[in-house]
């Protein structure tokens, strides 16, 4: 209540700014699958996932959440357009959470749903879609009104605009806005890739969107709703620009002095309130951690494997896209530099581990003791922050996949180098399968999981990842695993 009164007082001294969360023209796409096993459990997991997403959206403006186990697990993702301010982001996402219920009829629940607004996006499904950039349910939505004027100039401007946006967005954290004005015809546009889509996948997603959106001309508006990105053009400017409030100098010096004094006093009060809020938040956080993690928290904090979440977050420049090394089904990997100058690779996992922290930490403890020249070393983890992180040694020569990808211009590998890589991979697998007391079966050997040192020594990555996922009964599994 105290903070609310302060905000109300501030509002008396600033010009009102109309809110525009752009929760308009919703496009709701529901999955066709309706024969869900344990439908009620799936619904409960869905509501729990939505509740978890709200504070993440408020702090990070996007959220990736997994809730539940087995065939009732709910995977959910939401994100705001990056030009929205925090207030509009919260409002847009709140409306998304309400309207996504359209995929939940009274007597049944679809296994998935997507809701696109002009300001935000929300999706849930019964499988881990976080590495998806394109899917069969992608849509192209065209406006109702035809452009009145020179149609050929309009179409040319649209094509030039969406092409520019598709090239610029992957360079700038997956987001770009802009306009094209030729022949007195102006067209505005916005492109955004979702947070879990990496650079190459972002490029592919937007290139696909550019191809599709051309079918909308000569309509005044068009947009493509892909699994990994969003692209829109319009004859009306619909995106937001950051602006500064300017006091009208005609109001007189007395009013300016009064406003300055009032603003200073309110700023001081806000600083005091912020300090109280932060201290109280930290106290509540520590209480919550003790309650959730119990006796295990002391063990984790005192372990050499424990890294503070804040240290890893800062090491990656707050998980900036420029430090992103790759993307997989279980999470995204970032390059990080620790305070002592050591370079590491940090994997952000797409699931929350507070419910099975004992299992998770014990597995990390086990795998971190495995040493072999052909296995990537697991250095530790962070499990007390808002998301779970794994810390690996940094392998500088990227993955074997990069050397066989047409999209990356890497040197060709000589046959003797290829033989060295094959032999190193085989030695690493033999060590996991035959020499360890606790044998580990990788189940996901592929080019992107073979990393290369500077001298092209092969190192197998993610060899313990299957053990890190909770299973109902045992680690021994005959189910299909890995990459299709």
Give the span between the Cα atoms of 41 and 38, in whole angstroms.
5
- Specify the 3-state DSSP secondary structure of 22: coil
24, 62, 227, 369 from 222: Cα distances, Å: 14, 24, 17, 55
Is there a catalytic annotation at residue 138?
Answer: no
Beta bridge partners of 335: 345
Please identify which residue in the block is written with the tokens 């406006």: 143
Q: Which two tokens stand for residue 435?
A: 């020499």
Q: What is the DSSP string of 223-273?
A: EEE-SSEEEEEESS--S---------GGG-HHHHHHHHHHHHHHHHHHHHH
For residue 218, whether the previous peptide bond is cis, meaning omega lies within 30 degrees of 0, is: yes
Beta strands 113-116 and 27-30 are antiparallel
Nearest to 27 by CA among 131, 132, 137, 107: 137
Q: Which residue has the tokens 């993610």?
A: 462
Q: Which two tokens stand for residue 355?
A: 């419910």
HEC letters along 161-194: HHHHHHHHHHHCCCEEEEEEEECCEEEEEEEEEC
- With CA atoms as reference, report the closest residue to 324 among 170, 484, 191, 167: 170
Output the CA–CA distances (angstroms, integers) from residue 161 to 174, 234, 442, in the order listed: 16, 10, 46
How is residue 433 annotated by DSSP? I
Q: In 3D, which of 332, 302, 327 has the Cα closest to residue 316? A: 332
Can you tell me the distance from the alpha carbon of 69 to that of 470, in angstroms, rounded to the nearest whole number?
A: 8
Of 88, 138, 444, 462, which is the active-site residue? 444
Q: Which residues are catalytic?
A: 444
């Amino acid at each position: 209540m105290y903070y609310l009164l302060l905000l109300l007082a501030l509002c008396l001294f600033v010009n009102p700014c109309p809110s525009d969360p752009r929760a308009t023209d919703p496009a709701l796409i529901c999955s066709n699958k309706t024969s869900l096993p344990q439908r009620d459990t799936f619904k409960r997991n869905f509501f729990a996932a939505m509740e978890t997403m709200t504070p993440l959206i408020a702090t990070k403006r996007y959220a990736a959440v997994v809730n539940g186990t087995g065939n009732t697990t709910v995977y959910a993702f939401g994100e705001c357009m990056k030009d929205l301010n925090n207030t509009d982001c919260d409002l847009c996402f709140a409306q998304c959470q309400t309207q996504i219920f359209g995929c939940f009829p009274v007597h049944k629940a679809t296994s998935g749903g997507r809701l696109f607004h002009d300001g935000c996006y929300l999706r849930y499904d019964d499988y881990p879609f976080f590495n998806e950039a394109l899917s069969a349910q992608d849509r192209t939505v065209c406006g109702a009104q035809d452009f009145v004027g020179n149609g050929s100039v309009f179409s040319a401007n649209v094509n030039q605009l969406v092409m520019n946006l598709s090239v610029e967005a992957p360079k700038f954290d997956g987001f770009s806005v802009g306009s094209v004005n030729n022949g007195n015809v102006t067209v505005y546009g916005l492109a955004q890739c979702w947070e879990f889509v990496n650079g190459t996948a972002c490029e592919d997603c937007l290139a696909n969107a550019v191809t599709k959106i051309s079918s909308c001309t000569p309509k005044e508006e068009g947009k493509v709703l892909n699994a990994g990105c969003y692209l829109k053009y319009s004859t009306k400017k619909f995106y937001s620009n950051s602006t500064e409030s300017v006091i009208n100098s005609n109001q007189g010096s007395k009013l300016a002095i009064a406003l300055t004094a009032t603003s200073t006093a309110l700023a001081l009060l806000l600083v005091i309130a912020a300090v109280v809020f932060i201290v109280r938040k930290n106290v509540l956080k520590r209480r919550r951690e003790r309650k959730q993690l119990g006796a295990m928290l002391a063990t984790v904090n005192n372990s050499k494997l424990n890294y503070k979440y804040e240290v890893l977050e800062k090491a990656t420049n707050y998980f900036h896209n420029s430090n992103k090394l790759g993307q997989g089904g279980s999470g995204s990997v970032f390059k990080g530099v620790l305070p002592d100058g050591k370079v590491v690779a940090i994997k952000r996992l797409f699931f929350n581990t507070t419910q099975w922290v004992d299992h998770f930490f014990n597995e990390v403890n086990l795998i971190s003791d495995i040493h072999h020249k052909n296995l990537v070393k697991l250095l530790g983890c962070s499990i007390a922050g808002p998301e779970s992180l794994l810390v690996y040694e940094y392998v500088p020569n990227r993955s074997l996949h990069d050397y066989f990808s047409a999209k990356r211009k890497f040197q060709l590998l000589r046959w003797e180098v290829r033989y060295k890589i094959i032999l190193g991979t085989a030695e690493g697998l033999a060590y996991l399968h035959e020499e360890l007391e606790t044998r580990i079966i990788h189940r996901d050997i592929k080019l992107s999981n073979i990393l290369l040192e500077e001298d092209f020594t092969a190192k197998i990555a993610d060899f313990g990842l299957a053990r890190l996922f909770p299973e109902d009964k045992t680690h021994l599994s005959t189910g299909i695993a890995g990459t299709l």
